[in-house]
Structure 1
Amino acid sequence: MVALDDVELEVFEAGRENAGRPVVLCHGWPEHAFSWRHQVPALVDAGYHVIVPNQRGYGRSSRPSDVTAYDIEHLAGDLVGLLDHFGYEDATFVGHDWGAMVVWWTAILHPTRVGQVVALSMAYMERGEQPWVDAMEQMLGSDFYFVDFNRRPGVADAVLEAHTARFLRNLYRRNQPPPAPEPGNAMVHLALADEPPGDPVMSDDELAVLTSAFETSGFTSSINWYRNVDRNWHLLADVDPVVRQPALMIYGARDVVARNERIAELVPDLTEVELDCGHWVMDELPTETNRAILSWLEQQRL
């Protein structure tokens, strides 16, 4: 447990003998430090000091009750605080899903503390002229889960907490056909549905780790990250939006998450890699994911 200014974070680490080459792995939603289990050994073997936090709201880390405690200033501040704790000026930050969003934004909020960016599944999201939740509602409707989490606070949380094991089992799938659109929050549908098509991403024992963690923490604290999306839009108003660090973007070819076709304009030193998988890149193709990350990191050292 690492004590920062206003929270404690549960942090896992490996490869301390590789001091001086830090890599911070940032999970997404609804994930956990455990989500990086396939990457940690490979990174350590390649000579990196790997630091894997359960970010605020997850695992045994603090879960503040104030919704605004999960805005990007706090989330990025936690990552900078971890660097200070371990005595590093900067690090390579790797993020998946929401963790990628946090890493992108940390790179522009604290540019001297982020040496390199590796993002999986979630491309850099340009700010635009309209708050993000309003824009999503216009494009995708009020049922879109990002929007619903904001417009009806607590409603989806309660359903997911009442059906945690089923929700996570149904969410972590691969080789799925495109979902048929239906009214309502897609995450709620997953929590209430019979087993969906596709194949499980994790073994039962692996899934049990995440299930136990969310049965303990609940979902509200992690969903509060979504409830700060528009607050983040305002907080980033006067920040240089260009990510100037070298960056690797890894996509899943079958991922339903939209890509930003203009990403190269905002991330000029960008390498893009596509893997034949869905959203859960690190779980679905761990060997290929490790190879892509390590190859790119090695190229950055040449």
Structure 2
Amino acid sequence: MTDQPLTWHPSPRMTAVTLPRGATDCHCHVFGPQAVFPYAASSGFKPADAPKEALFALHDRMGIERCVIVQSGCHGFDNSVVADAIAARPGRYLGIALAPPDIATEALRRLDAQGFRGLRFNYMSHLAPGADGAALRALAPRLADLGWHLQLHMEAGLIEAMTPDLVDLPVPVVIDHIGRIDASQGRDQPEFEALLRLLDHDHLWCKVSGSERASRAEPPYDDAVPFAREVVERHPDRVVWGTDWPHPNYRAAPPDDGDLFDLLPRIAPGPGQLQALMVDNPARLYGFKETA
């Protein structure tokens, strides 16, 4: 067991937002418990446990009915911790896997049967490097055959350079956390302009999650909201949102998830935008089925 402090707020306040039926958290993680799901020996990130039961409790409290759990680097390419959480809430919870770009097709099919719907690659200095452009181009048709997509987590300064590798791929490409822009750099920063140009391609999606990461202010992270809102206004049918629970590698004390949920009406204020962001778009991207 690790002696690391919790990365998540143990008693978040209740959100003031009433979420629509079928509301979906499209980006969160589970860590351990390590006694059952040990961390990868190669991972430099070994957080305190954040098990599925704690995630389910948060969702039930806030009104989240469906979820997409993203495999964390602390578990490496062993996606069993996410598969276990998916199996506990079948049909309502799906997953995004971590795997090398040359993963065997049969292994992809096994993950698909477990409820995974895409692969994530990281391009952040604190994480293992992602696949290069050639590897993504080779992988994408195999993902397309499964109805999967690519999910990319990149430093904002890489958006422009990676754009040529992404614009012609035959699968949806989802950019995490508003491209990890720095809200303090202002609306006209080159990184945000590069993100907007990238999102003009019809197969590019954006997670308007991570306002607390983009912000350089204290809660309620006012400086980040206009960036997320502009993406929603420009591309209301290609945006999704997630909590990023349990907030790995956050810059300070864990954010209160109630604060993050309360941002939703400000991020998606227009008629029908919250329904699209939280329900309709996730259903289309991930293929959620109606459940009783």
More helix by share: 1
Could you state the TM-score of these two structures normalised by the residue count of structure 1? 0.32
Could you state the TM-score of these two structures normalised by the residue count of structure 2? 0.32
